[in-house]
Structure 1
């Protein structure tokens, strides 16, 4: 199993990884600047914020399925470059629009277009990884990609929030635009013609590309859905995605209020808790990236769910009774360590089973499942918390993780094949 230092000798993957760091920070900066703008122009309006989040999410379900088909037809590298350039131009246009319009409607239109372009960018980024690394490097590549995204999200929200606060909303948009341009420039340095796993399947790739050009968009969407339904590994990953993102959605809604009530915290203190979680994710990635090839990915996923559930339940009860910041930091760091293998293993299973020519549709479908699970879980948890409390929701999420993990481990021992 290649170690991390070997994957960093892969120039193409390193460039993609660096562009991901830049673009992830840009995404968080964009979100914080948009929230600050909406609250400034429409203060105390939950409806305005709800509209903003709706325009961010709608493209996942409307554009995602169609985007996946075209991603499989077109050059993924060029898709990412064009997406970054267009997103940069559109984001830079927001402060200019505000000079002529005081309404939020033009902003909502730009947000809808930007997040529609993101539906082309993200699946392309995930689908191109097998073209840049060999099959035995997939686990480490996914370890770095998945965890970099998680860490950048946590740290990016903290840094972006402070940046917008001190330099202003308009300057935040301009810096955000710059990050998209830098990301596009880095991706332009990628050479997909080099040695890759795709070259091992060149005949299959040509046949898949040829059939994609001949088929209609709707028929190709149906083909991708049928592949997901008919492939055991893909069905397994879909179930894991529903469980994981459903839990994340429910936890994200109630955890902030729970921590504020239990520890009497302020927003900046929540940032430190997030940093401890990010640190745990990073450590877990390093460990799993080096040792993961020796383990069954399915059993690792189930075991991680069990350990994550235990950590969540322990966090709730210990924080409620001790009100200790130090204990909270330790438990969240441990949660990051044990949770990090779940998404890494799931993405690696997709890459290993993914045929050439279907990557865009597959990862677009995965994104839809993620967001659908997030939205349903967030809505359900927010309603339930009014009746049973935030702590009860967190304990329930932890218990579901534990029970699902135990069930999965016992079933995989009887039948090693994915469910």
Structure 2
């Protein structure tokens, strides 16, 4: 099945189309939301952020979900996932509007961090729910294709939101005479997008997205009392699924080195390529880099289904890790804006291609009753290692982001990850996606 034929086939299915609409709408709103935050927290001349400040901001945004994520998984495996997606989208509106009020009043950064913390915690909860729900709207044999289309399309929607938000932010000079704060406008637009995502979720039948339970779901109080036991059961289940467990280790390593690159890139556009006081130039340059990386995400979606059908998910992951290692050294080490854009494209291709494969490996090797918990653990790992990378970056990356030693270490890290994954999975013999005849039948719609 070619990508185009597969895309048409999936989007012609009403249930997939409904879940697809929820994801792209919510992530487009996320893109607008994050432009406002980046403008205020990362490029403000008054705040003068360095690598340490960037690491602190990432920790405030991502680490709290590390505590909430496991609890979210337990509930995703007990409550209607459709209800969770709808209510959580509505709940996101409150912290976004609060952030708009705080920015308009020039309130303390600490208060803003608290509201951002809440908004992103809810967002990660949603992403875990969307991943756990996907096998309920596509056939098992189409999961690789669906995993290339769904999250990648969400990322493209995020990029479009980023582009819209950046355009509005750069038009601030036109809005300033009217007394309108451009960042506040962006936050109001993001809030409207979250409301729309909730409305789109309401079109999906309540029980379509699972979970598939043998008995009635327990009451909330009872579910809370089972959190520890449920998480332990999920971890035991994951230990019994070595293919999924090794895939999670790969995405953790990849995410760490990608996090180091991200912190360095922010500092390069803020302090190396542009004057640190020129907010618009720095934000515009970073936005272009993110958009180019998004093109890499799109290309990954186009070619990953065909690549995994020929190489297997394992082989494609190995090739993508090798490409990332090479791109860090050349053209990344040239430290020019054009060369950085080329590297951003390759790293985007690698990041999304690896994630598509890992998503599929986890989905196809974990029982549905445990998917919510496993994907919550997945999201925790995804965020914790990124923040850990930012913390390391705060120590080793110079203020302007330029360091040949760090660049070399990242490249060697990607290469070492590929070698270790190859050595530990040689006996797994993961078949190409098109030949997985042992997979369970399609879930009922």
More helix by share: 1
Q: Name the counterpart of 1:191.
A: 205
2:258 is aligned, of 241, 248, 252, to 248
Deviations 1:385-406 (A, max 9, x none): 3499523212221222123324
Deviations 1:74-123 (A, max 9, x none): 00111010011121244234445678894556544433433332243221
- Whether 1:233 aligns to 2:243 is yes
Counterparts of 1:157 and 1:377, CA distance in 2: 24
Correspondence list, 1:19-58, <5 A: 19-36=22-39, 43-44=46-47, 53-58=58-63
Structure 1 pair 138–35 and aligned structure 2 pair: CA distance change class (3 A): same
TM-score by length of 1: 0.84
- Whether 1:122 aligns to 2:127 is yes
Q: Is the 8 A contact 1:38 1:48 kept in 2?
A: no
Once the two structures are TM-superposed, the CA of residue 416 in structure 1 deviates from its matched residue by: 2.6
Q: Name the counterpart of 1:340.
A: 352
Q: Is the 8 A contact 1:19 1:186 kept in 2?
A: yes
Once the two structures are TM-superposed, the CA of residue 53 in structure 1 deviates from its matched residue by: 4.3
- Whether 1:349 aligns to 2:361 is yes
User: Equivalent residue of 1:228, what SS?
Assistant: helix
Counterparts of 2:44 and 2:304, CA distance in 1: 46
- Whether 1:399 aligns to 2:402 is no
Structure 1 pair 101–384 and aligned structure 2 pair: CA distance change class (3 A): closer
Q: Name the counterpart of 2:443.
A: none
Q: Name the counterpart of 1:110.
A: 115
2:377 is aligned, of 365, 368, 375, to 365
Deviations 1:309-342 (A, max 9, x none): 112221224x25xx572x5544543444455321
Q: Name the counterpart of 1:279.
A: 295
Counterparts of 1:239 and 1:105, CA distance in 2: 33
Counterparts of 1:280 and 1:99, CA distance in 2: 36
User: Equivalent residue of 1:191, what SS?
Assistant: coil
- Whether 1:79 aligns to 2:84 is yes
Q: Name the counterpart of 1:175.
A: 189
Once the two structures are TM-superposed, the CA of residue 127 in structure 1 deviates from its matched residue by: 0.6
Q: Say which is worse superposed, 397-406 or 104-113, in terms of deviation.
A: 104-113
Structure 1 pair 368–76 and aligned structure 2 pair: CA distance change class (3 A): same
Q: Name the counterpart of 1:132.
A: 137
Deviations 1:214-269 (A, max 9, x none): 77122112111222233202211221121111011111111344577886795223
Once the two structures are TM-superposed, the CA of residue 12 in structure 1 deviates from its matched residue by: 1.9
Number of matched pairs? 408
Q: Is the 8 A contact 2:260 2:390 kept in 1?
A: yes
User: Equivalent residue of 2:429, what SS?
Assistant: coil
Q: Say which is worse superposed, 103-112 or 165-174, in terms of deviation.
A: 103-112
Counterparts of 1:307 and 1:38, CA distance in 2: 32
Structure 1 pair 178–136 and aligned structure 2 pair: CA distance change class (3 A): same
Counterparts of 1:149 and 1:366, CA distance in 2: 18
Q: Name the counterpart of 2:441.
A: none
Q: Which structure 1 segments of 5+ residues have no match? A: none
Structure 1 pair 255–97 and aligned structure 2 pair: CA distance change class (3 A): closer
User: Equivalent residue of 1:63, what SS?
Assistant: helix
Runs of 4+ in structure 1 displaced over 6 angstroms?
A: 39-42, 47-51, 97-101, 210-215, 259-265
Deviations 1:15-43 (A, max 9, x none): 22222222112223223324545689993
Counterparts of 1:127 and 1:191, CA distance in 2: 16
Q: Is the 8 A contact 1:228 1:234 kept in 2?
A: yes
Counterparts of 2:292 and 2:54, CA distance in 1: 29
Structure 1 pair 406–119 and aligned structure 2 pair: CA distance change class (3 A): closer
The root-mean-square deviation of aligned C-alpha atoms, in Å, is 3.6
Q: Is the 8 A contact 2:89 2:197 kept in 1?
A: yes
Counterparts of 1:339 and 1:109, CA distance in 2: 29
Q: Is the 8 A contact 1:142 1:347 kept in 2?
A: yes
- Whether 1:69 aligns to 2:70 is no
Structure 1 pair 119–89 and aligned structure 2 pair: CA distance change class (3 A): same
Counterparts of 2:351 and 2:60, CA distance in 1: 30
Correspondence list, 1:189-228, <5 A: 189-191=203-205, 205-206=213-214, 216-228=226-238
Deviations 1:171-227 (A, max 9, x none): 222111100011111122223666x9x79xx6xx42595799777122112111222
- Whether 1:14 aligns to 2:17 is yes
Structure 1 pair 377–58 and aligned structure 2 pair: CA distance change class (3 A): closer
